Amino acid sequence: MDLIILLPAIACWIVLARGPIRNALVDVYLPVVLLLPHYYVLRFAHLPPVSFAEMAALPLFGALWFREMRRWRFDWMDLFVLLFALSAGLSEGMSTSLADGTWRDLFSVDRGPVAGDFSLFGLQFFAGLMTMGMPYMFGKLLVEGRGADGQAMRNRVVRRMVMLLAIVSAISVFDFLTHRSIWQMVMHHFFRNQVVDWPTQVRWGFGRIQGPYAHAILAGMIFLMGVIYVLWLRAFSPQWGTRRIFKGLPFTFRGLILVLIVGGLMMTQSRGPWIAVGLALVLAMLVRVFSLGKATLAFVVVLIGFSAVAYTVGNRYTDVGLNQAKTEEQRNAVYRRELIRAYFPIIEERKAFGWGFTTLPVVNGQQSVDNEYLLVAATQGFTGLALFVTILLGSGVRLYRLAQKPLRMEDRALVFAHLTVLMGLAISLTTVYLGEQALLMLFFLLGWIQAMKGPEAEQAFMPAASQAVRFHRVLT
């Protein structure tokens, strides 16, 4: 029954044969990514494992390569995304050789044996291309501009995204009330031979919903994106979802979708994404009141103050051992604090390229490294960490520069929506690893950010008053 994973590829080929490539993105790829678990895989002999999302991506990538690559414009960010995937592959396949320097023997005349597993390198590099490279390309080439029907693709993409997340939230009410994953219960009938180690956690007497995203915090990150984008969509698509659910009652589909997405975020019971959403909305409100420069300065002050308070409170809260923790929440906080102490010596042993994923030592029994920055430093060294942080910061800087240009209200609001989502995800990654659909959606967003351009030629003559419009309607 594992062959069910081939269905998204078949569906994608059918859609591609019947219409524009962008229809396959909206009608197949996004639904597969946001509705189907990423941890079930199909593996043929001598081939890398593939998931539902990756099977949907392969035909889409093939069509993209032949139809759309002529529009590709190389940017330094493209190189960094490729190097980040390459860094993961090299650290996985040649971690020992990179650490002890024997890789230099590859370039000597009297070449000695070099420890390395190039099959692991190939598998990890392939995984990086599938989960980072392809979503990045889809975001860069397929979202901006207009589809064959003349509609703005960004609106279609966001509408489909928020509708899918509303469906996930509605279904996950079962998980919230029963402490069981309905996604795993259904999929178990098709993947009986695959063991899934993603149990539903319980907090405050309710299940922490994870949807098809494996972990509650990863689900919180996905719903975080949904909250920000549904607010943007409500502000700049006034006709979207205005139909009433029941005649005579003031309940519309747009209101229902907003409630479901916010409810999904709350049902994850994940404090990291909650804090990230709060800070993101603070940034949006500051931009509403002040100019971009003053809002940025005010937000930095707020962030520094919040960080100082959080560090002080967190330091007191976690100043106990795991055995002395009184609640699950305190135990989780202590666990994350001890992660840094435990893994920092490991990182120092292999600073440049790390240990790789399969050879990373488990310290003090802490198998789950719930901090993406720490995990990247441990598995890919400071090389991988520098690449990852540069990708995040570079995307943020690009958005900041775009916000300084004379843009239409909708474009400016979307720039700030991207910026708040990017900041929210970056904050959340201090509490969880970057994996499953959160990884795909982040790099899809990064590609989308690269596709956003400054004002067109006629926009250069926009009146000064229209250039001063800020991201305020999104919060109304």
With cut-offs at 50, 70 and 90, classify the pLDDT of residue 331: confident
Q: What is the pLDDT of residues 434-446, one digit of tens each?
A: 888 999 999 999 9
Buried b (16+ CB within 10 A) or exposed e, 138-165: bbbbbbbeebeeeebbbbbbbbbbbbbb
Residue keyed to tokens 């993409």: 157
User: Looking at the predicted structure, is the pLDDT value of residue 268 above 60?
Assistant: yes
| Contact by Cβ (8 Å): 241, 456 | no
Nearest alpha-carbon partner for 124 in 360, 344, 343: 360
Alpha-carbon distance of 81 to 318, in angstroms, equals: 36
pLDDT at 319: 59
DSSP 25: I
pLDDT at 106: 54
User: Looking at the predicted structure, is the pLDDT value of residue 461 above 90?
Assistant: no
Strands 202-203 and 206-207: antiparallel
Q: What is the pLDDT of residues 99-155, one digit of tens each?
A: 655 555 555 555 555 555 567 777 888 888 889 999 999 999 899 877 666 677 888
Alpha-carbon distance of 407 to 468, in angstroms, equals: 9
- Residue 174: count of CB within 10 angstroms of its CB: 16
